[in-house]
Amino acid sequence: MVGQLGAPRVAAFTATATPEVRRDIAHQLGFSDPRLHVRGFDRPNLHYVVERVTGGDDKPDKLIELVAQRRDGRPSPLVYASTRKETPRSTPRR
């Protein structure tokens, strides 16, 4: 099947990687000659909002609330965690 379709396309995205980090990411992903597209952080098409949650128990509920806003025609949320440790590993309850 891969012979018919060709190799799968792989893309990696990062918000603030230094040149050294970009090289490390490319190396770890096995990219031999990656095409890099680097832009500044000023994105007028994005609206940034920071919302604090009180603790671990309300994080899944807040995530569900943000994702549900898409059904109301609002833009898709991008959710960032300050560390990988703070990223939920299970599916939020509904």
pLDDT in tens, the chain (94 residues): 556 777 777 788 887 788 998 999 899 888 888 888 887 777 787 777 777 777 777 878 888 888 787 777 777 777 666 666 766 555 555 4
Instruction: Please give the biggest Cα pair distance in the chain.
Output: 51
In a domain, 91, yes or no: no
In a domain, 22, yes or no: yes
In a domain, 21, yes or no: yes
Number of domains in the chain: 1
pTM above 0.85, yes or no: no
What backbone torsions phi and psi does residue 84 show, to the nearest 5 degrees? -65, -30
In a domain, 93, yes or no: no
CB 62 within 8 A of CB 49: no
CB 60 within 8 A of CB 91: no
In a domain, 94, yes or no: no
Instruction: Kindly state the DSSP code that residue 72 receives in the 8-state scheme.
Output: G
Domain that holds residue 66: 2-86
